[in-house]
Structures are given as C-alpha cells and as structure tokens.
C-alpha cells in the first residue's frame, strides 16, 4: 500500500465499522498521523491530543498522596494513559475500554504508544463497558479487584456530556450517574473528564453539586489543519461528599 496511506485495521463492532489508519500529509513531512473512524465519524487523531494529555496532568495534579490507584475510562490512542504513567506516584493504572479492537491495537503495538503502555508493569487493560461498571456501585471499576476504591478516575470516551457515542451513555452525566461514579472513589478522590469545546458552566455546577468541589479548565491547542487554534475542556471534581 502507498506509504502516504495505510489501513492498519478494519472490523465491524456493535457501534459500527471501526477503522484505524496511518497517513501522511505533505505539510507535515514524514510525520505519521494515526486516525480512528467509527462509522462516518472521526473519533480521534494523533494530530490533536493536547486536551487528552492535560486530562491526566490536571486530574492527577489535584490528587494528594502516594501509591495511587487510577482508572482511565477510554483507551483511544493512549495519550491519557501514557500521560498518567508519567506520574511516579501511580501504583496501578487500569484502562477500561469497550472495544476489544482498540485494546488489540495497543497489545500488538499497531499504534505508537502501545509499546510504552505494554512495557509499564503498573498498566493493565480491561475490556469492559466503563458506564456499566460505574452503575454497579457494589463492585470496583477494576474487574480483577472488586473491593477496590480509586484515587482518581480519568474519563475520555464521549465528545461532550451531551454529544455521546451511545445514547445510553447520557445517563452517566446526570447527577444520579455522576454520584454513582463518586462511590467508586476514595474520600478526597478526583474525577476528571475530557470534553470537546468550551467549558459549560452548567456542567461544572453539576459536578460541584455531586462531588462538593469542581473546576473547569480550558485547554487551547494549535490546529494545524486550519492554521489557527481549537480548544477542549478538562473538568476536575474532588469527592468531598459521601
């Protein structure tokens, strides 16, 4: 296949056809760009990952203590997880991913960050529905340790709380659904969420109502396709209420 375009994987999923491709664009020289499509929609691109990177930096920056047990909801191209692994305080990192194909890409190192994650003994993949795990407050978000509670939950799955990949995900972003997420955290634990676009005051307020403390952080990043900039949001909430 031509060097400037290569389809690395294609398979049907319950959510639509999933495509992983690698391509090059003249304006970026020999830089490989990895992209993921689900059906007709672009899910992620290696060109745009600053907000995902900052999800871990800002979320874990709000966590106190050592020996942290952290859960990442959504594997994607691995940016949130690898950014988290740069924090030496992490003892264990469980990455929960709904699509087994995405885990397979990392295990086979079809994507660049797979090697980093596979080489770190603190990191483990869990093939599961993050939202279903959250709704079951009797158990942990770590399928192998059902009694565990977590120091931080870093979530990067849906585009925004209202622009979701599956309509069933919508419930999670209500006060009821967020409260269930809070039950999986230790006291003073942190829930952090990546979202596309500008911060939404209503959602920051909702997080504050549920957890007790919440802030939103606008993350601006260069957009090489437009020559301008784009933005994402990282919401960070601390569990002060049981």
pLDDT digits (tens, 9 = 90+) for 50-89: 888 899 999 999 999 999 999 999 999 999 999 999 999 9
Cβ pair 239, 222 in contact under 8 A: no
pLDDT at position 48 is 76
- Per the document, the length of the chain is 242
Residue ranges of the chain whose pLDDT lies below 50: 1
- For residue 39, CA distances in Å to 58, 67, 90, 98, 110 come to 31, 40, 35, 16, 20
Angle of CA points 80, 226, 236, to nearest 5°? 30
In this predicted structure, what is the pLDDT of residue 3? Answer: 62
Mean pLDDT over the full length of the chain: 92
**What global pTM score does this model have?**
0.93
Q: Which residues pair with 37 in a beta bridge?
A: 19, 42
**Inter-helix orientation angle 175-182/201-211, to 10°:** 50
Radius of gyration (Cα) for the chain, nearest Å?
A: 17
How high is the pLDDT of residue 225? 66
């Amino acid at each position: 296949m031509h060097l400037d375009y290569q389809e690395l994987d294609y398979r049907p999923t319950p959510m639509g056809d999933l495509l992983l491709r690698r391509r090059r664009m003249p304006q970026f020289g020999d830089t490989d760009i990895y992209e993921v499509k689900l059906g007709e929609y672009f899910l992620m691109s290696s060109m745009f990952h600053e907000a995902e990177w900052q999800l871990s930096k800002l979320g874990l920056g709000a966590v106190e203590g050592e020996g942290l047990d952290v859960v990442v909801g959504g594997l994607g191209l691995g940016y949130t997880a690898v950014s988290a692994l740069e924090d030496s305080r992490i003892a264990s990192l469980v990455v929960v991913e709904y699509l087994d194909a995405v885990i397979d890409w990392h295990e086979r190192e079809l994507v660049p960050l797979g090697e980093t994650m596979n080489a770190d003994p603190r990191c483990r993949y869990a093939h599961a529905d993050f939202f279903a795990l959250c709704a079951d407050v009797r158990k942990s978000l770590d399928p192998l340790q059902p009694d565990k509670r977590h120091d931080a939950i870093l979530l990067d799955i849906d585009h925004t709380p209202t622009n979701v990949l599956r309509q069933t995900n919508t419930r999670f972003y209500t006060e009821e659904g967020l409260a269930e997420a809070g039950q999986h955290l230790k006291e003073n634990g942190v829930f952090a969420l990546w979202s596309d676009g500008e911060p939404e005051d209503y959602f920051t307020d909702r997080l504050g109502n549920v957890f007790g403390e919440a802030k939103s952080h606008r993350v601006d990043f260069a957009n090489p396709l437009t020559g301008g900039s784009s933005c994402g949001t990282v919401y960070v909430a601390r569990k002060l209420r049981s």
